[in-house]
């Protein structure tokens, strides 16, 4: 892996890999390349590029300058060697798992994951002959918990931290150490933190994945995903899966994500600051049963959060008295927008059991420790006092 960056994070967010920005016209912002194919100087050059004997662009499915700039910048920020951008976060996750797992392989996953990932595991991966078991990251003896899941067919350890939606944490260093002793590759969904708050590769993780739709873009106007790892591993992922399936990020969405990325540091700091204020309010409210936020001392893994995260992000979840109470709250809010997704400049709120995690049955919710009375809040960039006032008036009607 690459060494820690020499320049500051925010400097690299703005200037990282700008050497190919626009040498012809001198643009100060990344140009947008919308063409589908690229010219060759002659037939020999075309043959060399198709044979991968010469660097250069051939066809948009196999590479585009706008997409490549985003990939290089995200790899730099994650302390990785290379990255591959995909059409969505699920496109990144599904492509990577299809690349890593073969029929008959076993995947060990943290028990609470994004609903779309869970549906992919229980649907497509099982249909292709893979088996999946789930572990509790908060088990008193994590190594024993993982050992109980391990088989001779285990190939991948899949992690998400903080988890979606109850914000449970996974000890990245301990999981990486355990997996590598047994020959498993490790994957972490780092969407909730972004590289600004957490860099899984620094803890020995092999692959970091993101839904760029969320905080990396930050403005709710484009969908995308990215996988970050070593240069040889990323090239194999491209050639063996991405180019054949055609699951590539559009140049326009890459350009929008690059634009949003430039304010990532400012946004994540504000998201985190406001979320902590809102979480403290919710923790004191009599109609809130429990608040899940890694920045609160009451979070059972607060110490771990301080160790592996540089901040606590903008995601909060909290439990009300019943499953029915969540929708009632959502229907009585004015400022908090009722929508799935997260990482938007505006605050978004949803009820996971009936929305983002509807793929879980009631029994599966219980097995995963997913509280059906849970509400998930993606704290935006509004004033904390205004968000608290909206939540307070909404809770009065529950």
Does residue 36 have a pLDDT over 70?
Answer: yes
Does residue 20 have a pLDDT over 70?
Answer: no
- Angstrom distance (rounded) from CA 378 to CA 356: 13
Catalytic residue among 105, 189, 206, 371: 189
- Angstrom distance (rounded) from CA 296 to CA 299: 6
- Is residue 1, in this structure, part of any structural domain at all? no
Is 72 catalytic? The answer is no
Domain end among 217, 241, 261? 261
- Show the tokens assigned to 301: 């893994």
- Is residue 216, in this structure, part of any structural domain at all? yes
Does residue 295 have a pLDDT over 70?
Answer: yes
pLDDT at residue 306, as a whole number? 98
Does residue 83 have a pLDDT over 70?
Answer: yes
Which CATH number do you get for residue 108? 3.40.640.10
For residues 313 and 175, state if they share a domain. Answer: no
Domain count, the chain: 2
pLDDT at residue 362, as a whole number? 77
Does residue 1 have a pLDDT over 60?
Answer: no
Does residue 11 have a pLDDT over 50?
Answer: yes
Sign, CA torsion 348/353/355/360: positive
Query: What are the tens digits of pLDDT across the range 224-248?
Result: 999 999 999 999 999 999 999 999 9
Tell me which residue has tokens 């790892």: 229
* Angle at the Cα of 368 from the Cα atoms of 362 and 371, rounded to 5 degrees: 60
Does residue 365 have a pLDDT over 50?
Answer: yes
- Angstrom distance (rounded) from CA 354 to CA 387: 23
Adjacent-strand bridge partners of 228: 83, 208
Catalytic residue among 111, 214, 267, 270: 214
Q: Between residues 368 and 95, which one has the greater pLDDT? A: 95
pLDDT at residue 66, as a whole number? 95
For residues 183 and 239, state if they share a domain. Answer: yes
Q: What is the mean pLDDT of residues 49-68?
A: 94
Catalytic residue among 61, 177, 290, 328: 61
Is 61 catalytic? The answer is yes
Is 155 catalytic? The answer is no
* Angle at the Cα of 303 from the Cα atoms of 301 and 309, rounded to 5 degrees: 90
- Is residue 40, in this structure, part of any structural domain at all? no
- Angstrom distance (rounded) from CA 300 to CA 388: 24
Query: What are the tens digits of pLDDT across the range 321-337?
Result: 999 999 999 999 999 99
- Is residue 44, in this structure, part of any structural domain at all? no
For residues 232 and 302, state if they share a domain. Answer: no
For residues 207 and 83, state if they share a domain. Answer: yes
When computed from its CA atoms, the radius of gyration of the chain, rounded to whole angstroms, is 21
- Show the tokens assigned to 22: 């626009």
- Angstrom distance (rounded) from CA 84 to CA 249: 9
Which CATH number do you get for residue 386? 3.90.1150.10
- Show the tokens assigned to 328: 């009632």
pLDDT at residue 2, as a whole number? 47
Q: First vs last Cα of the chain: how many Å apart?
A: 50
Domain end among 242, 261, 280? 261
For residues 254 and 269, state if they share a domain. Answer: no
pLDDT at residue 19, as a whole number? 64
Backbone angles phi, psi at 196, to 5 degrees: -65, -35
- Is residue 388, in this structure, part of any structural domain at all? yes
Q: What's the mean pLDDT when you consider all of the chain?
A: 94
pLDDT at residue 67, as a whole number? 97
- Angstrom distance (rounded) from CA 12 to CA 31: 18
Q: How far is CA 197 from CA 209, 216, 300, 306, in A?
A: 14, 12, 19, 11
For residues 186 and 292, state if they share a domain. Answer: no
Percentage with pLDDT > 90 across the chain: 87
- Is residue 351, in this structure, part of any structural domain at all? yes
Does residue 216 have a pLDDT over 80?
Answer: yes
Strand order in the sheet with 315-319: 290-292, 315-319, 374-378, 348-350, 337-338
- Is residue 346, in this structure, part of any structural domain at all? yes
Q: What is the mean pLDDT of residues 160-183?
A: 97
Does residue 262 have a pLDDT over 60?
Answer: yes
Other C-beta atoms closer than 10 Å to the C-beta of 331 total 11
pLDDT at residue 235, as a whole number? 97
In this predicted structure, which of 112-116, 331-335, 387-391 has the lowest mean pLDDT?
112-116
Domain end among 234, 261, 288? 261
For residues 200 and 345, state if they share a domain. Answer: no
Query: Is residue 164 a contact partner of residue 192, using CB atoms and an 8 Å limit?
Result: yes
For residues 356 and 221, state if they share a domain. Answer: no
Q: Which domain holds residue 352?
A: 264-396
Catalytic residue among 33, 114, 118, 158: 114
For residues 25 and 146, state if they share a domain. Answer: yes
* Angle at the Cα of 72 from the Cα atoms of 266 and 96, rounded to 5 degrees: 100
For residues 272 and 242, state if they share a domain. Answer: no
For residues 306 and 232, state if they share a domain. Answer: no
Query: Is residue 155 a contact partner of residue 100, using CB atoms and an 8 Å limit?
Result: yes
Percentage with pLDDT > 70 across the chain: 97
- Is residue 108, in this structure, part of any structural domain at all? yes
Is 134 catalytic? The answer is no
For residues 132 and 242, state if they share a domain. Answer: yes
């Amino acid at each position: 892996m690459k060494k820690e960056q020499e320049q500051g994070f925010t400097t690299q967010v703005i200037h990282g890999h700008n050497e190919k920005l626009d040498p012809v016209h001198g643009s100060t912002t990344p140009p947008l390349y919308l063409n589908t194919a690229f010219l060759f100087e002659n037939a020999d050059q075309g043959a060399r590029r198709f044979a991968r004997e010469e660097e250069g662009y051939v066809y948009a499915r196999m590479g585009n300058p706008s997409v490549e700039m985003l990939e290089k910048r995200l790899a730099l920020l994650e302390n990785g060697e290379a990255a591959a951008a995909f059409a969505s976060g699920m496109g990144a996750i599904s492509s990577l798992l299809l690349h890593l797992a073969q029929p008959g392989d076993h995947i060990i996953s943290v028990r609470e994951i994004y609903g779309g990932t869970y549906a992919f595991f229980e649907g497509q991966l099982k249909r292709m002959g893979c088996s999946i078991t789930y572990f509790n990251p908060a088990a008193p003896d994590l190594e024993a918990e993982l050992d109980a899941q391990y088989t001779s067919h285990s190939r991948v350890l899949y992690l998400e931290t903080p988890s979606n939606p109850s914000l449970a944490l996974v000890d990245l260093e301990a999981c990486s150490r355990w997996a590598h002793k047994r020959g498993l590759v490790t994957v972490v969904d780092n969407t909730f933190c972004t590289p600004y708050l957490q860099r899984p590769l620094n803890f020995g993780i092999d692959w970091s994945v993101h839904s760029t739709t969320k905080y990396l873009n930050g403005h709710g106007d484009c969908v995308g995903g990215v996988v970050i790892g070593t240069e040889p591993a990323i090239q194999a992922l491209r050639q063996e899966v991405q180019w054949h399936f055609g699951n590539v990020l559009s140049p326009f969405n890459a350009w929008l994500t690059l634009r949003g990325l430039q304010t990532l540091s400012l946004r994540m700091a504000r998201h985190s600051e406001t979320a902590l204020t809102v979480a403290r309010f919710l923790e004191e409210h009599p109609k809130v049963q429990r608040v899940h936020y890694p920045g609160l001392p009451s979070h059972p893994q607060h110490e771990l959060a301080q160790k592996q995260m540089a901040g606590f992000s903008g995601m909060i979840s909290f439990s009300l008295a019943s499953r029915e109470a969540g929708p009632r709250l959502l229907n009585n809010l004015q400022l908090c927008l009722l929508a799935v997704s997260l990482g938007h400049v505006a605050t978004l709120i949803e009820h996971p059991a009936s929305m983002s995690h509807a793929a879980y049955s009631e029994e599966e919710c219980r097995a995963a420790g997913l509280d059906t009375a849970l509400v998930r809040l993606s704290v935006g960039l509004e004033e904390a006092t205004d968000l608290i006032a909206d939540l307070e008036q909404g809770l009065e009607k529950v």
